[in-house]
Structure 1
Amino acid sequence: FFKEEGIEAEVIRMNANVAIRALASGDTDYTMIFGSVVRAAIRGLPVKVVASFIDGSTHALVSRPE
Protein backbone atom coordinates (compact mmCIF):
# COMPACT_ATOMS: atom_id res chain seq x y z
CA PHE A 1 0.00 0.00 0.00
CA PHE A 2 2.61 2.56 1.04
CA LYS A 3 4.82 1.98 -1.98
CA GLU A 4 1.84 2.34 -4.34
CA GLU A 5 1.07 5.71 -2.74
CA GLY A 6 4.68 6.92 -2.99
CA ILE A 7 5.28 6.74 0.75
CA GLU A 8 8.60 5.43 2.05
CA ALA A 9 7.49 3.84 5.33
CA GLU A 10 9.92 2.36 7.83
CA VAL A 11 8.86 0.37 10.89
CA ILE A 12 11.09 1.17 13.86
CA ARG A 13 10.52 -0.91 16.99
CA MET A 14 11.34 0.78 20.31
CA ASN A 15 10.16 0.70 23.89
CA ALA A 16 7.50 3.14 25.07
CA ASN A 17 9.81 5.58 26.86
CA VAL A 18 12.09 5.92 23.83
CA ALA A 19 9.10 6.27 21.50
CA ILE A 20 7.61 9.12 23.55
CA ARG A 21 10.92 10.99 23.67
CA ALA A 22 11.37 10.51 19.91
CA LEU A 23 7.84 11.75 19.25
CA ALA A 24 8.17 14.80 21.52
CA SER A 25 11.52 15.78 19.99
CA GLY A 26 10.33 15.35 16.40
CA ASP A 27 12.66 12.43 15.67
CA THR A 28 9.64 10.31 14.69
CA ASP A 29 6.34 11.38 13.18
CA TYR A 30 3.99 9.12 15.12
CA THR A 31 3.82 6.15 17.46
CA MET A 32 1.31 3.37 18.02
CA ILE A 33 1.80 3.34 21.81
CA PHE A 34 -1.57 4.59 23.07
CA GLY A 35 -1.35 4.54 26.88
CA SER A 36 2.09 6.10 27.02
CA VAL A 37 1.06 8.90 24.67
CA VAL A 38 -1.96 9.70 26.83
CA ARG A 39 0.25 9.86 29.93
CA ALA A 40 2.75 12.06 28.08
CA ALA A 41 -0.02 14.46 27.04
CA ILE A 42 -1.25 14.63 30.64
CA ARG A 43 2.30 15.53 31.73
CA GLY A 44 2.22 18.42 29.25
CA LEU A 45 4.31 17.04 26.38
CA PRO A 46 3.25 18.42 22.98
CA VAL A 47 1.61 15.22 21.69
CA LYS A 48 -1.97 14.32 20.71
CA VAL A 49 -3.88 11.08 20.24
CA VAL A 50 -5.64 11.22 16.86
CA ALA A 51 -6.80 7.60 16.48
CA SER A 52 -7.00 4.34 18.36
CA PHE A 53 -7.03 0.82 16.95
CA ILE A 54 -8.34 -1.95 19.21
CA ASP A 55 -8.47 -5.59 18.09
CA GLY A 56 -11.07 -6.61 20.66
CA SER A 57 -13.53 -5.28 23.16
CA THR A 58 -12.18 -3.32 26.10
CA HIS A 59 -15.38 -3.93 28.08
CA ALA A 60 -16.11 -6.66 30.59
CA LEU A 61 -19.33 -7.76 32.27
CA VAL A 62 -18.88 -8.40 35.99
CA SER A 63 -21.65 -9.47 38.35
CA ARG A 64 -22.30 -10.95 41.76
CA PRO A 65 -22.87 -14.73 41.87
CA GLU A 66 -26.53 -14.44 42.90
Structure 2
Amino acid sequence: MDKDRIEGTMDKTKGSIKEGVGNVTGNEKMKAEGAADKAKGKVENSIGGAKDAIRDNM
Protein backbone atom coordinates (compact mmCIF):
# COMPACT_ATOMS: atom_id res chain seq x y z
CA MET A 1 0.00 0.00 0.00
CA ASP A 2 1.37 3.36 -1.04
CA LYS A 3 1.88 6.15 1.50
CA ASP A 4 -0.43 8.38 -0.56
CA ARG A 5 -3.27 5.94 0.06
CA ILE A 6 -2.62 6.02 3.79
CA GLU A 7 -2.45 9.81 3.87
CA GLY A 8 -5.56 9.98 1.71
CA THR A 9 -7.51 7.80 4.09
CA MET A 10 -6.36 9.90 7.03
CA ASP A 11 -7.38 13.14 5.29
CA LYS A 12 -10.79 11.72 4.33
CA THR A 13 -11.39 10.66 7.93
CA LYS A 14 -10.23 14.02 9.28
CA GLY A 15 -12.46 15.77 6.77
CA SER A 16 -15.49 13.71 7.75
CA ILE A 17 -14.94 14.54 11.41
CA LYS A 18 -14.49 18.26 10.70
CA GLU A 19 -17.53 18.33 8.48
CA GLY A 20 -19.61 16.57 11.13
CA VAL A 21 -18.48 18.95 13.85
CA GLY A 22 -19.21 21.88 11.54
CA ASN A 23 -22.73 20.56 10.93
CA VAL A 24 -23.42 20.05 14.63
CA THR A 25 -22.05 23.43 15.69
CA GLY A 26 -23.28 25.34 12.64
CA ASN A 27 -19.72 26.40 11.84
CA GLU A 28 -19.67 26.91 8.07
CA LYS A 29 -15.89 27.39 7.95
CA MET A 30 -15.28 24.03 9.63
CA LYS A 31 -17.76 22.34 7.27
CA ALA A 32 -15.92 23.80 4.28
CA GLU A 33 -12.53 22.76 5.65
CA GLY A 34 -13.89 19.26 6.21
CA ALA A 35 -15.19 19.03 2.66
CA ALA A 36 -11.84 20.25 1.32
CA ASP A 37 -9.95 17.68 3.42
CA LYS A 38 -12.21 14.92 2.14
CA ALA A 39 -11.63 15.97 -1.46
CA LYS A 40 -7.87 16.12 -0.87
CA GLY A 41 -8.01 12.65 0.66
CA LYS A 42 -9.87 11.24 -2.33
CA VAL A 43 -7.25 12.63 -4.71
CA GLU A 44 -4.37 11.29 -2.60
CA ASN A 45 -6.05 7.91 -2.39
CA SER A 46 -6.48 7.82 -6.17
CA ILE A 47 -2.85 8.75 -6.74
CA GLY A 48 -1.76 6.03 -4.33
CA GLY A 49 -3.98 3.51 -6.10
CA ALA A 50 -2.45 4.41 -9.44
CA LYS A 51 1.06 4.04 -8.01
CA ASP A 52 0.13 0.64 -6.58
CA ALA A 53 -1.29 -0.49 -9.93
CA ILE A 54 1.84 0.60 -11.76
CA ARG A 55 4.05 -1.10 -9.21
CA ASP A 56 2.00 -4.33 -9.42
CA ASN A 57 2.28 -4.41 -13.22
CA MET A 58 6.04 -3.99 -13.33
Shared fold per TM-score greater than 0.5:
no
TM-score tier by shorter-chain length is under 0.3
Compute the TM-score of the two structures, normalised by the length of structure 2.
Answer: 0.28
Question: Rg larger in 1 or in 2?
Answer: 1
TM-score (norm 1): 0.26
Q: Which has the higher contact order (CA 8 A, sep 6+)?
A: 2
Q: Which has the higher helix share?
A: 2
